[in-house]
Each structure stands twice: as C-alpha cells, then as structure tokens.
Amino acid sequence: MLSYVGMERYLNLHDMTAVADFMESVIDFLPEKDRKPYQQLIDQVHAGEHVPRERLAEAAKNIGAVTWSARRALEHFIATVGAELEWEAMLEQARPATALLLKRLRRSGNTSTLDETLKITDAQYAIGPDQEVEISMLRDEVRYHIWESHHEALGPMIEETQVELEAIKKRLKRLREQAAKSDAATRNRLLDTLDRFEDKLYYGGELIPLESLDEEIRLDAEESEGARGDE
C-alpha cells in the first residue's frame, strides 16, 4: 500500500522561487484571461519583491487545482495515442548526440515511449547530467506544443478528469472534517497525511486512488489510538 508518511513532498512551499517556478510551469494550461493574477505573483517573486508566503502558497494550490484536469488529460494523451508525437518531436529538437543516444536506448530496451525509455536501467548510466537537463527542458517545451495543437481535441478527456477531481475534493473535505473532530495528536497526523496527498495531487499532478488515501487515514487513526493506549 502507498504510504504518505515521511514521503518527500513534490513542492517545498517554503522555497518561494520553487513555488513561482511551479506556477510558471503550469500557467499555460489556463485560459489567457485567467493568467494575470498568477503571472503578477510570479514576476514579483522573480524580481525579488516581497510576497507573503501564505499568499503565494494559496495561489500555487489554486493554480494546481484549476490546471489539474488539463494536465491529467495531456498526460493520458501522451501516454497513449500521443506517445509517438512526443518521441518524434524530441528527436527532432534534441542535439544529434542526444537524439542518437535516445534511439539506441529505445532499441536496446525494446521500449515504445519516451517515458519507458528513460526508465530503463541503461538510461540511468548512459544519460549524462547535461543531457538530463536538455531532455527535461525539451520535454517541457514539446509537451507545451502538443497541448497547444491538441487541447481542443482533449476536451472530452478534460471533462472526465474534472469529474474525478470533484470527487477527490469532496472526499478531502469530508476527511478534513473528520480530522477536525479528532484529538490533537490524531488531528495533526491526519492533516499531515492530507497535506501530503494534496501535494502530490495539485503540484505533482498525480492521480492517487482514493482507496489508498482512505486506508492511510484509517491506519493513521488506529496508530494514534494505539499510541494513546500505551500512555
């Protein structure tokens, strides 16, 4: 079972630059008319101006939530019918040596997608630090172009993921209400688990089964109950 306790967070909300960079990385998923308030905060942080941490964290959570459905839809598209689009675009834009290395890794690993290719054991040793940065930056650019050219076709998929997100939000609200009724130790433990779940959800763009969250919450409650019994 997936455990959230002790799990490294996707985004450090105390790192103002990292938070601004995250917002900048997803802002293109918003309609242009909705970008201004987020872009203003991003510009302020990059200019070294003071922005209250709580305000920036709230904005990051908001933009993570409102772009989640689009990001999930794009991820699913690229993992399926759009995988070859991503692969061809990466080879076209990468430096010749990097493109050749990717081809060799794909052939040796007998993989079908860029994701699969980058996860094989040989890739971990063959891809140098400079190439790793190059691939990461190119991939963000390629995915943005795929989004630009296919986002209208992703409409039905986005609607489906919006339904998923609403169900997740309702469950999170119910669990927070449950935590609020618990004793202090249990409440703090449950809220920490929920915060880590939201970190992976809104910032990491992940879809984590609600069943896993429910089970984690149940175990947290049982461990807290056991700790009180040992006192």
pLDDT score for 120: 95
Q: Are residue 67 and residue 106 in the same domain, yes or no?
A: no
Residue ranges for the chain with pLDDT beneath 50? 1-6
Q: Are residue 70 and residue 181 in the same domain, yes or no?
A: yes
Domain count, the chain: 2
Q: Is residue 34 assigned to a domain?
A: yes
Q: Is residue 2 assigned to a domain?
A: no
pLDDT score for 4: 41
For residue 9, what are the CA distances in angstroms to 13, 17, 41? 9, 16, 22
Q: Which of 117, 150, 183 is the last residue of a domain?
A: 150
For residue 210, what are the CA distances in angstroms to 109, 184, 204, 215, 216? 33, 24, 16, 9, 10
Q: Are residue 70 and residue 105 in the same domain, yes or no?
A: no
Q: Can you tell me whether residue 31 is helix, strand or coil?
A: coil
pLDDT score for 209: 77
Q: Is residue 30 assigned to a domain?
A: yes
Q: Are residue 73 and residue 159 in the same domain, yes or no?
A: yes
Residue 67 sits in which domain range?
A: 16-79+154-230
pLDDT score for 125: 93
Q: What is the pTM of this model?
A: 0.81
The CA distance from 6 to 28, in Å, is 32
pLDDT score for 220: 63
Q: Are residue 119 and residue 175 in the same domain, yes or no?
A: no
Q: Is residue 8 assigned to a domain?
A: no
